[in-house]
Structures are given as C-alpha cells and as structure tokens.
Amino acid sequence: MDRLTRQVAFLTGIDRLKNIIRRTSLCDDSRLENSAEHSWHLGMMAMVLAEYAEPGVDVTRVVPMVLVHDLVEIHAGDTFAYDVAGNGDREARERAAADTLFGQLPDDQGRALRALWEEFEAGETPDARYAVALDRLQPILANDRSGGGSWRDHDVSRAQVMTRMRPVEQALPAFWPTVLDIVDRYCAAGLLRR
C-alpha cells in the first residue's frame, strides 16, 4: 500500500475507539463515556491546566500523547482500573495491540506514535507524568459530578482510589486537595468503601 492509503486505513480504523465503552460516566451521569471521548477530554485538560504542570512540560507533546494513549484499546479492550484480574495481562494485551495498530501506519509515523504511547506507559518524563496525572484526574472529576459513577457501581475502596491517584499528587500537586476532598466526601456518603 502507498503512504496515503495506509494513513487513511489507520484513520478510518481508529474510528472504532468510539465503540470502546469505559466504566466512567459522563459528568451528567446520562451514560458511560467511550475511550475516544476520554482521550479528547484529556487533550482539552492538557491545554487548559498547563499552568499547573511541572516546569519543562511541553503541552504540544502532551496533547498528541493523550490522544494516542488509549488507541490500543481498539484491539486490547478497555480494562477497568480497579479490575485486579483484568489488569494481570493488560500490559501484554496492549503491547500486542500496539504492534498491530501502529504497524498499520507508514514506518516513520508508526514509530513516532508508538514512541508517544511507550512514553506515556513508562510515565517517567515530565510530559508523561503530566499526561498520566490527567488520565487519573479526569475520571475522579467525572465520578464527582456524576454522584459516584464507577465507584458507586463497582464497590471501589478509598485505598484503591488513593493508590490510583498518586500520579496526580506527584505531577499536579495543586489538585491534591481537590482529590482528597472528593474522596473524603464520597467515603462519608458511603459511595466509596472505606
């Protein structure tokens, strides 16, 4: 296939991300969000909240990183953050999916997008730490606005949420009091198990 044909095939193929349903409700609790909506929301968050990122974060790299980070779910499926069994083989499933997905593109583009995905997964650079923190922050904000959302529906504990939120504490410390407030309110209301 020529370059343009491969690019178009990739772009039409990633439309399937809209069919990957997550466990997080929309803020109005009308339905569950899909992974494409989640990625778009993270891109917007990356731009709007850039002033809270650690020095040196390059938002022009973070936006593509968050747009790419869940594309592997097209082949690997979405694994609920608090699903212990499902997370056991998540990494292997997602790596195999990345091979397939990014292999559809011309080599230079496939390598570039794969590198962004790998950087996000490793979470070690300032850009990746910011992106991962946003990925953790977005669902907690949605859970708050939707009356408990996935916590309410899946019997999630405070300890599970606090462990999941550590990247927010580290990369977006300005939001840590907000995280604690949300968690404490939902524990007090009985919608988040102690």
CATH of the domain at 140: 1.10.3210.10
The answer for residues whose C-beta is within 8 angstroms of residue 93's C-beta and 6 or more apart is 75, 76, 77, 79
* Helix/strand/coil for 125: coil
pLDDT range class, residue 82, cuts 50, 70, 90: confident
For residue 58, give its domain range.
Answer: 3-188
Question: What's the chain's average pLDDT?
Answer: 95
In a domain, 193, yes or no: no
In a domain, 194, yes or no: no
The total number of structural domains that make up the chain: 1
Closest CA to 11 of 91, 101, 93, 111: 101
CB 46 within 8 A of CB 141: no
- CB-based burial of residue 102 (10 Å sphere; 0-12 exposed, 13-18 middle, 19+ buried)? buried
pLDDT digits (tens, 9 = 90+) for 51-81: 999 999 999 999 999 999 999 999 998 988 8
pTM higher than the cut 0.85: yes
